[in-house]
Amino acid sequence: MSTLVNHADTSNEMILVLDFGGQYNQLIARRVREDHVYCEVHPSTLPLDAIRTMKPKGIILTGGPNSVYKADSVTCSPELFRLGIPVLGICYGSQLMAHLLGGRVETAPTSEYGKTEVTVDAKDSLLFQHVDEKTICWMSHTDYIAAAPEGFHVTAHTPVCPVAAMENAEKKLYATQFHPEVMHTEQGKTMLRNFVYDVCGCQGDWKMGDFVEKTVAALKKKIGSGRALCALSGGVDSSVAAVLLSKAIGKQLTCVFVDHGLLRKDEGDQVAAVFGPEGPYDLNFIRVNAQDRFYAKLKGVTDPEQKRKIIGEEFIRVFEDEAKKIGAVDYLVQGTIYPDVIESGLGNSATIKSHHNVGGLPDYVDFKEIVEPLRLLFKDEVREVGRELGLPDYLVNRQPFPGPGLGIRIIGDVTAEKVKIVQEADAIYREEVAKAGADKELGQYFAALTNMRSVGVMGDGRTYDYAIALRAVMTSDFMTAESAQLPWEVLQRTTSRIVNEVKGVNRVLYDCTGKPPATIEFE
């Protein structure tokens, strides 16, 4: 059985987020980390003893869907508020604080949802330093605190909410009905910073430069003269993980890069240029050109789930073959990041798509332990580490790319010819979007090949060719997304270049659908 290795340096000051089922739990942690204070998210059921051992500088209670006065609602021990550790309760967390300490929580006469003007009543509150008297905050609640507990001052209100914020400064207990972590709370960052620095007394010792240094040292110590194997996809996470390992153990690391022939244009060569013998890193790099194997398995297969399964399984087979040649290794390196860790506890939702990533590998490879050096980092922190390590921008800023690659951006059966078409069209699209500087707001954008052929006219002749679909979405979490309103000129230029430069395409369509009801990828 493998153990997961944590490389966090526990000497960092820490803010603990206790999750009561709120949809913004990760966002709170990200905001705190952006202010250079290390922060972890744990379930609300975390025992008090464990909390004491962690020695957090402060605790933040998240929102959640429950009502505190219902018998089966998630709760916490009232002792939590007597540990002497500062607490900030947000939304449900604020109501829980009020309820457990003797205040009154009721159904609000009207629910507040959305941007709401909040009046700050306490000029001297540490939480509201440098915050305007009238400030726009994000509200989302049906219950509210009708009366604050004894010893608490009401520090803010709205026309609906008599207690939009409250505090017992002496005991360092703070609560807001609104969500300071959400971008729509205009001065929310200031409030969180006030809590973390001025109430909890943090100094801000979470820096990515230090992370690199400490992690490399910890990996050196842990692995010693052992051997490690890394499945390198060329994505940000596995690339950064590989470089950290190579800094720590050099040639004791072998990276296997499986080119399944479903990558974006030139991507395989770009990965090889960075990690191969010509690149700056001192590691063993194996590129497996497995296009033919994948295309053969995919021949004639049109069902999206079946395609995903075939690509996922073949990936493991290829990796397994390579691993066998290398022999037993001590450590398997994985690019798991913090959102994967937080989300792995959930999992009751329906399978919309069977995701392919390297999570399936451990059963098939002979190794003793898994090393996950990025396990505690958010994506933006991983990118920062990548920059610290000197990885090129095009790798660090790469948009997410699904494991099954272009296989799920070609609707219907996959052929080498179709891969070429979608690669060329996608490269043109990315080039035009970037040239216009239109990529800044976009979460993801790409070209897909529909399985529709239609009639066109080129010169004096009739054509009967494929239609390319362009997609661009804005999203913060990839769970929901809006179709982006790309400038018309960009779409026109892209269209004209695709139909002129890519053989086999005579029509270009733009996807205006959001998620839901569509998904970001086409299959």
Task: Tally Cβ neighbours within 10 Å of residue 352.
Answer: 8
179 carries an active-site annotation: yes
DSSP 391-430: --HHHHTPPP--TTGGGGTB-SS--HHHHHHHHHHHHHHH
Angle at 37 between CA 75 and CA 6, to 5 degrees: 80
Which residue in 252, 444, 494, 506 binds ligand XMP (CB under 6 A)?
444
255 carries an active-site annotation: no
| Listed ranges 129-137, 383-391, 432-440, 513-521: which one lies at the site for ligand XMP (CB under 6 A) | 513-521
Which region holds residue 148: left if phi is over 0, alpha if psi is between -120 and 50, else beta? beta
163/332 with CB nearer ligand XMP = 332
181 carries an active-site annotation: yes
Buried b (16+ CB within 10 A) or exposed e, 167-201: bbbeebbbbbbbbbbbeebebbebbbbbbbbebbe
* Token pair recorded at residue 160: 């609906």
Is 519 a binding residue for ligand XMP by CB under 6 A? The answer is: yes
* Residue 400 beta carbon to ligand XMP: minimum distance, rounded to whole angstroms: 4
CA distance 212 to 243: 10
Distances (CA, A) of 357 to 31, 115, 272, 468, 477: 27, 38, 20, 26, 18
Is 521 a binding residue for ligand XMP by CB under 6 A? The answer is: yes
189/515 with CB nearer ligand XMP = 515
| Listed ranges 52-60, 157-165, 368-376, 397-405: which one lies at the site for ligand XMP (CB under 6 A) | 397-405
Footprint on residues 79-98 left by ligand XMP (CB under 6 A): none
Q: Which of 13, 40, 112, 181 is catalytic?
A: 181
| Listed ranges 62-70, 153-161, 258-266, 398-406: which one lies at the site for ligand XMP (CB under 6 A) | 398-406
Is 402 a binding residue for ligand XMP by CB under 6 A? The answer is: yes
- Quick one: which of 19, 10, 1, 13 has its CA closest to 341? 19
What CA dihedral angle connects 318, 321, 323 and 327, to 10 degrees? 180
Is 355 a binding residue for ligand XMP by CB under 6 A? The answer is: yes
What is the size of the binding site for ligand XMP (CB under 6 A)? Answer: 14
C-alpha neighbours within 13 Å on the C-beta side of residue 306: 11
Position 40, amino acid: E
CA distance 450 to 445: 16
Footprint on residues 32-71 left by ligand XMP (CB under 6 A): none
CA distance 333 to 219: 11
13/259 with CB nearer ligand XMP = 259
Footprint on residues 458-487 left by ligand XMP (CB under 6 A): 478
Is 73 a binding residue for ligand XMP by CB under 6 A? The answer is: no
Partnered with residue 369 across adjacent β-strands are 331
95/357 with CB nearer ligand XMP = 357
Q: Which of 7, 42, 179, 260 is catalytic?
A: 179
Which residue in 400, 456, 504, 514 binds ligand XMP (CB under 6 A)?
400
* Residue 177 beta carbon to ligand XMP: minimum distance, rounded to whole angstroms: 32
Is 516 a binding residue for ligand XMP by CB under 6 A? The answer is: no
Chain positions contacting ligand XMP, by CB under 6 A: 353, 355-357, 400, 402-404, 444, 478, 515, 519-521
The residues that are catalytic are 91, 179, 181
